[in-house]
Structure 1
Amino acid sequence: MKRVYGTRKSVMESEEEEDTAVKCRERRRRRMAMRRMAAGAASSSRGGESLKRGVKTSGEPGVVLQTSSSTAAAAIMSLISIMETPQPPVYGMMSVIGRQREMEDEVSVRTNLCRPEINGFRPVHFFGVFDGHGGGHVSALCKENMHSIMEEELMRVKVIGDESDGGELWRTAINRCFERMDEMAVRLCLCGGLGTSSNICRCSPQLSFMGSTAVVSLLTKENIFVANCGDSRAVLCRNGRPIPLTVDHKPDREDERRRIEGCGGRIMFADGARVEGILAMSRAIGDRLLKQWVTSEPEILITRREEGDECLILASDGLWDVLSSELACKIVHECFSQNGSVAPRIQGDEGAMGEALYSSRSDSAATLLIRLALGRRSTDNISVIVIDLRK
């Protein structure tokens, strides 16, 4: 019997050794294939005729023709970056209807959205909060499409020299994304399609006054990019203290008032300052009939990440109307300060759509922020994203 058991054990050990050997051969084969691809790209650059460096394509600022050598370098860098698989950031998000009759808020998260050349072929993560007004159609449109448009704009940018350091190429791509999103929102109709600029659907007059705010963050290993259009906000918590990354676009803000009045618009007061007495914000996506005065151009802030960064909070005004940035950061800081990286799941907790909440500290922080806003009688929809920036 001992001999039989010994035979079985030796068979199992031989199978494990064989399996390990197969895996090692497979990994070695993949490495050799990637080296051959990189070598092929480099050899093609030596044999090809190079183009003049720095020639820009017409009509698209920041987009340049690549040389053959830069194409080879890009291929090699791309292969190297693919071998690196960094963990995506931990985040928590929650969105509730609150005391409103309709849900007009939307949130969008896309970790590892793309690996553009502008970021050295390393991952870019996308986070967005969209607060609709006049209905939820434009905010839903932003949730469905803005990340895809952002990916297209980032991936089409080609870098020459150290142009990526100044941030202008990033700004150009982000601005173009908001511009395209606004064009799509202006053409929106309720009959199931999108019109053209010369043939706008008139199926619902309500769409003429429908729009959405947009606060979007692009997160990289080195930087935090925040683009804001409207009165949703982004706040960075650094060493336990809040750093505002956005300023609300209100019609009575001095620079916004000058811009609107310079375009022939009026600021009228009806339950607060409003553009033409209608819209309580000076920038938004959509709002077809107010487009002459209400722009979709975002304000963009680029922030270098530091060791003391704890979290980034993106939220609609349903939160900020009743919570200060200081209190929000204090709540998240206390959640993160608890022992362990994972919070215990609270029985019965469910998201706005009925999904069970994840058990990360970021989820706990987002849940507590929502609960506190509801306890303070917030009258609006409330949407929050908490992104863990700790290393």
Structure 2
Amino acid sequence: MALDSEELSQLTLTKTKNTRRKRLKVRRLKYTYRTKIHVERQKGKQLLDENKEDYHHTVEKKISLSLTSSYENDEILSFWRESPESFTTYGSVSLIGRRREMEDAVRVELGFMKKSKIAVKYDFFGVYDGHGGPQVATACEERLHGVLVEESDDHVQGHEDEGMDYWQRVMEACFAKMDEEVRDNGLGRTVGSTAVVAVVGEEVVVVANCGDCRAVMCSGGVALALSTDHKPGRPDELNRIESAGGRVVNWNGQRVLGVLATSRSIGDHYLRPYVISKPEVTITKRMDKDEFLILASDGLWDVIPNELACRIVKRCLDGKMRSYMQEVENESRPAEAAALLAELALARGSKDNISVIVVELRKSRGFVGS
């Protein structure tokens, strides 16, 4: 039966009120999200892979600010216990946060150079923050660590060399090749991704950064930035962009040609030569006082300074703080710390995807409940 104009108007008003009521409901101290948990554990030499089905649940936040997240497909946790192949224990978290689409990607490969010409064992950790879409970040997550192995073999000159010159050559070649692959596959014309990767060995930590993801080490209780964000307003980056004929425009923050808020990335070929894929590389000799390493996208660093992040992780690793995400119960303390950082970033109003890896550089202290 057809509705007359008055009935139709009343129905529309009712629907509008119901919609508004639902919006107000999600602004309370609880938030609802869908999660897909991927947990990896190593038992002896056998890797156990446990996938749990998506489910809805409500988490009551113990942080005083109201959180809102009604998006789906949050990828909550990936964890690997310390193994004979590795010098580290790690935990990671990746949240869609308040964005409509997940554009971040995270990759961990323990002992990833074991099939290369280099006999030294290394672990690989990478955080990729896509923009314009997830395609380039996903491509980096799938390929960059493999490209790094290929380039490390190509640059070995008859002897193993862990010096700065070697790693500078390898990382620059790796990022350039990854950028070429993205271009050749037609992915990177108007889509891009920033990247921070860490290669952790028994003696050194090598970090390569392209964009505004960041790596921070805590050593002896002091926060040490192992990378520097590539922002268009950074004096040397501004000079490079202008020397190439480009401009930095203040449009909701400083942006290359008024478009991109980072001055280096993989992809974004429509902004060349102003936006480049060349990484900056640091190599840090490991010391006994080194405690942990944090790699994260700018969804974390935009709202949490280095020193605060390190204080939180340190307290969590010492068992003095806990995350309220149910997914990290009985998991590692690095996983607990990564989740806690993500929770705090949400509470502080982060509007971006949030991806965090916490790598414990000292011997494993075991699971949260131990």
1:258, distance to aligned residue in structure 2 (A): 0.9
Among 346, 351, 354, the residue aligned to 1:374: 346
The correspondence for 2:199, drawn from 189, 203, 218, is: 218
- Residues 165, 321 of structure 1: alpha-carbon distance in 2 compared, 3 angstrom cutoff: closer
Q: How many residues align?
A: 281
Q: What corresponds to 1:270 in structure 2?
A: 251
Contact preservation (8 Å) 1:115, 1:155: no
> For the residues of structure 2 that align with 1:118 and 1:249, how far apart are their CA atoms?
32
Task: Name the CA distance, whole Å, in 2 between partners of 1:101 and 1:367.
Answer: 20
The residue number in structure 2 matching 1:189 is 186
User: Is 2:122–2:201's contact at 8 Å kept on the other side of the alignment?
Assistant: yes
1:347 CA displacement = 8.6
Match of 1:90 in 2: 89
**Residues 325 and 347 (structure 1 numbering): CA distance in 2 closer, same or farther, change over 3 Å?**
closer
Aligned equivalent of 2:272, options 273, 291, 294: 291
| Residues 114 and 155, structure 1, Cα contact 8 Å, conserved in 2 | no
Per the TM alignment, residue 135 of structure 1 is displaced from its structure 2 partner at its CA by 0.7
Residue 169 of structure 1 and its aligned partner are, at CA, apart by: 1.7
Q: 1:317 to 1:165 in 2, by over 3 A?
A: closer
Task: Specify the code of the residue in structure 1 equivalent to 2:283.
Answer: I
| Structure 1 residue identity aligned to 2:291 | E
The structure with the larger Rg is: 1
Superposition deviation, residue 288 in structure 1: 1.4
Which structure: greater strand fraction? 2
Aligned residue in 2 for 1:173: 170
Contact 1:94–1:367 (CA under 8 A) maintained in structure 2: yes
1:247-326 → structure 2 map (5 Å cutoff): 247-326=228-307
Q: Higher helix share goes to which structure?
A: 1
Alignment TM-score, normalising by the size of structure 2: 0.72
When residues 262 and 116 of structure 1 are mapped into structure 2, their CA distance, relative to the original with a 3 A threshold, is farther
**Within 1, Cα distance between the matches of 2:296 and 2:271?**
25
- Between the aligned partners of 2:102 and 2:247, the Cα distance in structure 1 is 30
**Do structure 1's residue 237 and structure 2's residue 237 form an aligned pair?**
no
Structure 2 equivalent of residue 156 of structure 1: 154
Secondary structure of residue in 1 paired with 2:196 = strand
Describe how 1:326-337 pairs up with structure 2 within 5 A: 326-337=307-318
Contact 1:227 1:298 in 2 (8 A): yes
Structure 1 unmatched ranges of 5 or more: 1-83, 191-206, 351-355
Residue by residue over 1:117-160, the C-alpha shift from the partner in whole angstroms, topping out at 9 and shown as x without a partner, is 775x1211110000001111110110011011111112333344
Q: Deviations over 1:30-83 (max 9, x none)?
A: xxxxxxxxxxxxxxxxxxxxxxxxxxxxxxxxxxxxxxxxxxxxxxxxxxxxxx
Distance 2:299 2:217 in 1: 18
> Matches of 1:87 and 1:106 in 2, distance apart?
22
CA distance in 2, matches of 1:252, 1:331: 29
Structure 2: how far apart are the matches of 1:237 and 1:260? 33
Partner Cα separation in structure 2 for residue 301 and residue 114 of structure 1:
19
* Aligned amino acid, residue 94 of structure 1: V
Q: How much has 1:172 moved relative to structure 2?
A: 1.0
Structure 1's 336 and 186: CA in aligned 2 closer, same or farther, altered over 3 A? same
Q: Quote the Cα distance in structure 2 between the aligned partners of 1:113 and 1:229.
A: 21
Q: State the one-letter code of the partner of 1:365.
A: A
| Residues 109/357 of structure 1: CA separation in 2 closer, same or farther (3 Å cut) | farther
Q: TM-score, normalised by structure 1?
A: 0.68
User: Does the residue aligned with 1:247 lie in a helix, a strand or coil?
Assistant: coil
Q: Measure the CA separation in 2 of the matches of 1:187 and 1:324.
A: 38
SS at 1:213's partner residue?
Answer: strand
Match of 1:132 in 2: 130
Q: Aligned pair 1:362/2:334, yes or no?
A: yes
In 1, Cα distance between the equivalents of 2:304 and 2:84?
Answer: 37
**What amino acid is aligned across from residue 136 of structure 1 in structure 2?**
P
Contact 1:93–1:366 under 8 Å retained in 2 = yes
The 1:381–1:347 alpha-carbon spacing in structure 2 relative to 1, beyond 3 Å, is: closer
Contact 1:114 / 1:124 at 8 angstroms: preserved in 2? yes
Closer, same or farther in 2 for the Cα pair 1:357/1:265, shift >3 Å? farther
Change in Cα spacing, 1:160 to 1:331, as seen in structure 2 (3 Å) is same
Question: Contact 1:91–1:385 at 8 Å: present in 2 too?
Answer: yes
| Misfit runs of 4+, over 3 Å | 84-88, 115-119
